[in-house]
Amino acid sequence: MTEPVAEGVRTAAEVLARTRDLVEPALRHAVDTLSPPMRRMAGYHFGWWDARERPLRADGGKALRPAFTLLAAEGAGGDADAALPAAVAVELVHNFSLIHDDVMDGDAVRRHRPTVWNVFGRSEAILAGDSLLTLAFAVLAGSGRPAAGVRTLARCVQSLLDGQSADLGFEERADVSLGECMRMAEGKTGALFGCACALGALQ
């Protein structure tokens, strides 16, 4: 059994570091199952290698969402090992959304590096994001509570897409209300945090 993520009194930085230590090997294993072109772009996005697959250690993100999954599992009386597939699935969905968001917004830099579309092309980046999304469901389907977890994740992705759609629509308007912004953030950002906790509690 893995040492609990939240054992004793730990700072947020320590919890996130522990989460990355637990999640990254499982995340790498999942990404290794992708086809070579998808694997190359995914690994580049996660900061594991450069565009030619030469290893490096770039910023791969804070791992907030998988940390919520593991902590929720422990809070519900489970352990981090059982929740690891759910944590990986959440991180894959988050990064699918980042890759697609960069394409839609035309952002050239993510985590201090050129974005996936900026290096490999827009169409290729869309496919890479799609690969991470489908991989998330495959990972979750192989976990201990696949049916409930997949339904929960599917609802979350729909909320995330609705939030992103609203965000894009706001770019064409000058009269966006605070309430609309809050609802957009609930879908685009809040839904995945809620899903992360729900998936952890299901394990």
pLDDT tens-digit map of 153-190: 999 999 999 999 998 899 888 899 999 999 999 988 99
Please state the rounded mean pLDDT for residues 122-134: 98
* Rounded Cα distance, 89 and 198, in Å: 13
| Spatial contact of 129 and 99, defined as CB atoms under 8 Å apart | yes
Tokens standing for residue 177: 């209300």
* Rounded Cα distance, 76 and 14, in Å: 21
For helices 12-31 and 80-105, give the axis angle rounded to 10 degrees: 80
Is pLDDT above 70 for 151? yes
Indicate the average pLDDT of the chain.
93
Contacts of 24 (CB under 8 A, 6+ apart): 60
Which domains, ranges and CATH numbers included, belong to the chain? 12-202 (1.10.600.10)
Strands (E), the chain: 109-110, 113-114
